[in-house]
Amino acid sequence: MARRALITGITGQDGSYLAEHLLAQGYEVWGLARGQANPRVSRMRKLLADVQVVRGDLLDQGSLISAVERVQPDEVYNLGAISFVPMSWEQAELTAEVTGMGVLRMLEAIRVCSGVSRGSNTRSGQMRFYQASSSEMFGQVAETPQTERTGFHPRSPYGVAKAYGHFLTQNYRESYGMYAVSGILFNHESPRRGAEFVTRKVTLGVARIKLGLASELRLGNLEARRDWGFAGDYVRAMHLMLQAAAPEDYVIGTGRMKSVRELVEAAFTAAGLDWEQYVIRDQTLHRPAEVDLLCADPKKARVQLGWEPTVSFDDLVAMMVESDIRLLSNGGDPDQDSSWP
């Protein structure tokens, strides 16, 4: 019988790549989708016709129990979150509820549905759980590169909410013997990345300028440094983590760091443009507390899971610029539901 996976956050960037990957591995894939008329569900259905949808919301415990009861998954991937860091200052409580407490509700749904009771510290319950933890938990880093043992100093309500979900996942593993793991993933991008994140904002900005649809691009802090990889590579790591003999947490990244300035330079260069003529520094886009640098040490994943990234920074940026030029040239609208390559 085909293995069955339930993915929360199915309408997001990672949900789409993970669903494609699992379908290719022969899985029966279910996506948890919220809302009455969520336009992102129809976009997802166009791309992933074989994914079955179950309704549910990370804010609603009963809906998660019903979803898990109905799907009876072998593997649950909890990717759903408010994931845009600046929004977490504007809606801190909602971020705590969805990105933090949502993890508790999902773990409880699995615990209840698989009959794991308090005090039963056996490796009970067959469902395996993946939590989408984040390098934002490291925040103001104590050491670089960051490993599975590096301490956390989150710098945003988002990072704090992710740290809660991370520790809770470890706690359910230790308290109930559940197969529950966290992937501490560093920034990963693709042509399906949301337009609010800096990589896609830049590649869409470059495409608009190249096609004469815009004359400038406003950005915040150009000095921040990140470890950027390709989302398609990172979803493979999520799957590998749930196939390991023992449940453990892993850092996933490329081990290479670039600044926002270098990202901008690479994207404009890929389109044959000089960035300094178009980029405007906008102080209002700076964050109340910034994460200055993040860089992964993915050695554990390489040694124990055999995981390696396959797409370089330059190839990733070129892929996104090309995709956005093609999208806008064909009259596509990145904010509309048909825009996923």
| Residues designated as active site | 134, 136, 158
**216 touches 279 (CB < 8 A):** yes
In the bound complex, what is the minimum distance in angstroms from residue 234's beta carbon to ligand NDP? Answer: 8
Name the 3-class secondary structure at 16: helix
**84 touches 143 (CB < 8 A):** no
Q: Which of 5, 6, 13, 230 binds ligand NDP (CB under 6 A)?
A: 13
Q: Tell me if 265 contacts ligand NDP by CB under 6 A.
A: no
Q: Which of 35, 195, 243, 299 binds ligand NDP (CB under 6 A)?
A: 35
Helix, strand, coil percentages in the chain from 3-state DSSP, rounded to 5: 45, 15, 40
Strand partners, 182: 131
Q: Which of 142, 211, 285, 289 binds ligand GDR (CB under 6 A)?
A: 285
In the bound complex, what is the minimum distance in angstroms from residue 123's beta carbon to ligand GDR? Answer: 30
Indicate which of ligand NDP, ligand GDR, none lies near residue 220 (CB less than 5 to 8 Å, by partner kind). ligand GDR
Between CA 98 and CA 80 the distance in angstroms is 8
Indicate which of ligand NDP, ligand GDR, none lies near residue 223 (CB less than 5 to 8 Å, by partner kind). none
Closer CB to ligand GDR, residue 198 or residue 267? 198
**79 touches 11 (CB < 8 A):** no
Query: Strand runs (DSSP E) across 95-164, as ranges?
Result: 128-134
Between CA 34 and CA 81 the distance in angstroms is 12
In the bound complex, what is the minimum distance in angstroms from residue 297's beta carbon to ligand GDR? Answer: 15
Q: Which of 22, 54, 79, 291 binds ligand NDP (CB under 6 A)?
A: 79
Closer CB to ligand NDP, residue 209 or residue 324? 324
Between CA 293 and CA 227 the distance in angstroms is 8
Contact characters 188-207, ligand NDP, x per CB under 6 A: x-----x-------------
Around 55, how many Cα atoms within 13 Å sit in the side-chain half-sphere? 5
Between CA 158 and CA 161 the distance in angstroms is 5
**136 touches 164 (CB < 8 A):** no
Name the 3-class secondary structure at 297: coil
Indicate which of ligand GDR, ligand NDP, none lies near residue 85 (CB less than 5 to 8 Å, by partner kind). ligand GDR
The residue type found at 146 is Q
Tokens at 73, concatenated: 């998954």
Q: Which of 3, 21, 40, 55 binds ligand NDP (CB under 6 A)?
A: 40
Q: Which of 88, 146, 169, 187 binds ligand GDR (CB under 6 A)?
A: 187
Enumerate binding residues for ligand NDP (CB under 6 A): 8-15, 34-35, 38, 40, 57-59, 79-83, 98, 132, 134, 185, 187-188, 194
Q: What residues line the site for ligand GDR (CB under 6 A)?
A: 83, 85, 134-136, 186-187, 196-198, 201, 219-221, 224, 226, 260, 285, 287, 290-291
